[in-house]
Amino acid sequence: MKIQVCKLCQTAIAVCCFVVAGCRQTAPTVEDAGYEVMTVKPTDRILKSIYSATIRGRQDIEIYPQVSGFLTKVCVKEGEKVKRGETLFIIDQVGYEAALQTAKANVNAAEATLATAQLTYDSKLELHRQNVVSDFDLSTAKNSLLTAKAQLAQMKAQEISARNNLSYTVIKSPSDGVVGTLPYRVGALVSASLPEALTTVSDNSDMYVYFSMTENQLLDLIRRYGSKEEVLQEMPSIDLLLNDKSVYQEKGNIETISGVIDRSTGTVSLRAVFPNKNGLLHSGGAGNVFIPIQKQNCLVIPQTAAFEVQDKVFIYKVVDGKAQSIPVSVTRVNGGQEYIVEDGLASGDIIVTEGVGLLREGMPVKIKGGESK
C-alpha cells in the first residue's frame, strides 16, 4: 500500500513539473528568431514615382450673361455635348428689341437733322459770298452742321449698342465641349453679376492633368535629360491612376513645366495631357500620375528598413555584430514603399530590413537563420 502511494506521489510531482515547465515556455521573440538583413548593392532600376494629380478639361469656360433679364429658354441639358456657336440660353428680348427700334428711330431723326443743317450751311455759305449774311451767321450755321454730325454719330453708336445688347440675349457656346450643371431655370432673373455661372462648358477632348514635384526632383529630372526642353521631348509616356484605383488605358505626355517654384510649398507645377476619346475623364476629377525614372547604380532599400526621428530618416547598419543607427538622405519612390539612398550608405553595408522598431543603439543583431553578425 505504501509503495502504491509513493508511486502516485512521484507521478503527481512529475506532472506538476511538466506543467510548470510548459508554463515557462513562451513564443520566440524577434531577438530569438533573428533580424532580416540585406547587403546594400548598387543596381539599375526603372522606378515609377507617384504624384497626386488633378484633372481639368483643356479649357473650362464659365458662362455668364452680358445683359440682365429673365431666362425665357434653356436650350441644353446637363452633360450634353455642344458645338461652338450653339445656343445655350435665351434671355427675354422684348425690352432689347424695343431699345433697338428706338435707337434706329433716333438715327433717322439725326440724319434728317443733319440734312437740314447741311442745307442751311450751304445756303448761308452762298449768301456769305454775296455779302448778304455776316460771318457770324455763317459760323453759326457751320456749328449747327457739326453738331448735327456729332449727334448722328452718337445715335449710330447707340444703335450698335442696342443691337449688341439684343444679340447678347442669345447666349452661345464659345467652344466645343460638354455642358456642366445648370443652376438656373426658365424664369430666373440673371445678370452679369451672378454669384454663380449659368453653366460651364468644358472642352474634354483632351484632358489636362496637373501635378507637382519638389525642386530636388525637378533638378534630378533635368540633369538626367540635359535640359527642360529635352525632358519634354524625350521623357517616355506616363500613366494615370484614376480615383477608383484603375489605370487609365491611354498614355499621356508631359506638356509643360512651370518656370516658377511655389514659395509656399517649394514645388513646381507640371501639366500632362491625356486623350479622352471615350469621355471617361471628367474635369474636376483626381488621380495619380506614374512617372518612369531610370536610376543607374543606385542604392535601394525597402521602406521597412527605415524609421524617422524628428523628420530625419535613419537606418540600422550592422557594425561588428551590433546595431548602429545612421542618418540617411533618401528619395521616396513607388508610393513610399522603397527609398533610394542618396547619402549615408555605401555599397557593401549590411542593414537591418525588418523589426527596426525593436532595435536600440548598440544592441547585438542576430541574423535570421544565422548567428550574431
Q: What is the CATH number of the domain that holds 223?
A: 2.40.30.170
Total number of domains in the chain = 3
Return the number of other C-beta atoms located less than 10 Å from residue 334's C-beta. 16
Q: 21 falls in which pLDDT band (50, 70, 90)?
A: very low
pLDDT of residue 26: 43
Among residues 276, 293, 310, which one ends one of the domains?
Answer: 293
Mean pLDDT on 219-240: 88
The span from the CA of 199 to the CA of 153, in Å, is 37
Q: Is residue 280 part of a domain?
A: yes
Judgement on whether residues 72 and 160 belong to the same structural domain of the protein: yes
Judgement on whether residues 85 and 176 belong to the same structural domain of the protein: yes
DSSP class of residue 178 equals E
Judgement on whether residues 92 and 184 belong to the same structural domain of the protein: yes
Among residues 256, 271, 293, which one ends one of the domains?
Answer: 293
Judgement on whether residues 246 and 335 belong to the same structural domain of the protein: no
pLDDT at 259 over 60: yes
pLDDT of residue 88: 96
Q: 370 falls in which pLDDT band (50, 70, 90)?
A: low
pLDDT of residue 32: 54
Q: Is residue 365 part of a domain?
A: no
The span from the CA of 349 to the CA of 368, in Å, is 17
> Three-state SS for 42?
strand
Judgement on whether residues 271 and 339 belong to the same structural domain of the protein: no
Closest listed residue to residue 314, CA positions, set 258, 356, 276: 356
Q: Is residue 2 part of a domain?
A: no
Q: 43 falls in which pLDDT band (50, 70, 90)?
A: confident
Q: Is-contact 331 45, C-beta < 8 A?
A: no
Return the number of other C-beta atoms located less than 10 Å from residue 8's C-beta. 10
Judgement on whether residues 171 and 73 belong to the same structural domain of the protein: yes
What percentage of the chain reaches a pLDDT higher than 90? 54
User: What is the per-residue pLDDT across 267-317, written as a single tens digit (0 to 9) for each?
Assistant: 999 999 999 988 899 888 999 998 887 777 889 899 899 998 888 899 999
Judgement on whether residues 302 and 289 belong to the same structural domain of the protein: no
* Structural domain harbouring 98: 64-190
Strand pairing partners for 314? 307, 327
Judgement on whether residues 146 and 81 belong to the same structural domain of the protein: yes
Judgement on whether residues 261 and 313 belong to the same structural domain of the protein: no
Judgement on whether residues 163 and 260 belong to the same structural domain of the protein: no
Q: Which value, in Å, is the radius of gyration of the alpha carbons in the chain? A: 41
Among residues 146, 161, 190, which one ends one of the domains?
Answer: 190
Q: Is residue 247 part of a domain?
A: yes
